[in-house]
Structure 1
Amino acid sequence: MGRDATRERLFTAAIELIAERGFTGTAVDQIAERAGVAKGTVYYNFGSKAGLFDALLDYGIGRLAGSLRTAAAGLDPSAALDAVVRAELLFLAEHESFARLLIAETWRRGGDWQHAALMIRERVVGVVADVLRASVDAGLLRADLDVGTAASAVFGMVLVVGLDWQALQPARPLAEVEATLLDLLRGRLAGSVPS
């Protein structure tokens, strides 16, 4: 097994275990066992459990940001927000354990929480902010919209609704969840701009 495949297995095992047991409740031995590798492999690849967690956040946040950016690429501003909301919901459906990890651990990890929250804000919320800014510039959203706060609210709302959908309403169709979110977003973000 190559190094990339080993790291992928370690990421998957760590995400699942930390989502199940929390960061402090997860031992390196457990991560290695679930990934099917020797304990030393974790240290060889990441240096420590904290190093693995930081790399895990970087990896997952990068994948989420890439999914959102790809979804919005080349679309006009009126369609880009819809595409970003749908991409976030699809990412959450595919990577529910990582989403739970973001909520449960990112803001709880001692002094490192600010670094993790900043990574999310810069890389993921930044994509949403770019989409909203383009919509403001196109006259689709109110000119006085606080884009940074609105982007955080959109990301957070979709994250929580997506987890609710996956945990409590998994049989509910994606299209219904997406439509409800978009109705809420359009009404609040557009303000006095006619539809």
Structure 2
Amino acid sequence: MSRAETRQKVFAAAIDLIAEQGYSATTVDAIAERAGVAKGTVFYNFGSKEALFSALLEHRIGYLAQALRDSAVGATALDALDAVVLGQLRFFEEYGALARVLLAEMWRTAWQEAIVQLREQALGVYADVLRRAVAEGQIREDLDIDTAATAVFGMVLTVAIERQALYPDRPVSEVHATLADLLHGRISR
């Protein structure tokens, strides 16, 4: 198994365990066992549990940001906004554990670099689309873009977690339609 494959297995095990029981309760032993590798392999690849989690956040936030950038297309900025919301819902449908970790663990002061990365990369996609919507005259010029980007991202994150936990059979398209209606009613001119 290559080093990259090993890191992916450890990342998958760590994110699942942290989502299930929290960062503090998750041990390197448990991560290694779930990943099917020796404890020493985890330390060899990451050095510490903290470094593993930091690398995990950086890696997965990068995936999320790329998924949002890839989905930010549309004839108008509001079409692009709707597409980004749908892209985020679909991403968290596939990577639900990351959604739970972001909501529960991300805001600790130890992970400030990851918060900056999330803000610049993932929330930055929302901010760019919202700026475009202002430029196109589709939303209010006085909208606080940074706050709006955080609010939309957080709303979608929370709804994605709720859907997974309580309504897993609810179609993503139905959830997306509700969110789009809510957004258009609140930020449109």
Same fold? TM cut 0.5: yes
Answering whether residue 27 of structure 2 is matched by residue 32 of structure 1, we say no
1:9 is the counterpart of 2:25: no
| Partner SS state of residue 55, structure 1 | helix
2:150 aligned residue = 152
d(CA) in 2 for partners of 1:74 and 1:21?
Answer: 39
Tell whether the 8 Å contact from 2:54 to 2:111 is kept in structure 1 after alignment. no
> Shift of residue 74 of structure 1?
6.7
Q: 2:163 aligns with which of 154, 162, 165?
A: 165
Match of 1:98 in 2: 98
CA deviations 1:35-76 (Å, max 9, x no partner) are 111111111111100000000100111000000001114754
User: How far did residue 17 of structure 1 move?
Assistant: 0.6
Query: Matched residues in 2 for 1:57 and 1:172: separation?
Result: 28
User: Deviation digits for residues 89-111 of structure 1, max 9, x if unmatched?
Assistant: 00111011111011111123xx3
- Amino acid in structure 2 at the alignment position of 1:181: L
Task: State the AA in 1 paired with 2:160.
Answer: G
* 8 Å CA contact 2:16, 2:97 repeated in 1: yes
2:180 partner amino acid: L
Paired position in structure 2 for 1:138: 136
Q: Which residue of 2 aligns with 1:127?
A: 125
Q: Distance in 2 between matches of 1:75 and 1:163?
A: 29
Question: How has the CA–CA distance of structure 1 residues 51 and 16 changed in structure 2, closer, same or farther, with 3 Å as cutoff?
Answer: same
* Structure 2: runs of 5 or more not aligned: none
TM-score (norm 1): 0.93
Equivalent residues, number: 189
Q: Distance in 2 between matches of 1:43 and 1:113?
A: 19
Are 2:74 and 2:83, in contact at CA under 8 Å, matched by a contact in 1?
A: no
The whole-number CA distance in structure 2 between the counterparts of 1:155 and 1:98 is: 14
Q: Deviations over 1:1-52 (max 9, x none)?
A: 1111111100000000111111111110110111111111111111100000
Q: What is the letter of the counterpart of residue 83 of structure 1?
A: A
Gaps of 5+ in 1: none
Once residues 69 and 61 of structure 1 are traced to their aligned partners in structure 2, the CA distance between those partners, rounded to angstroms, is 12
Moved over 3 A (4+): 73-76
CA RMSD of aligned residues (A): 1.2
Question: Structure 2-normalised TM-score?
Answer: 0.96
Aligned letter for 1:124?
A
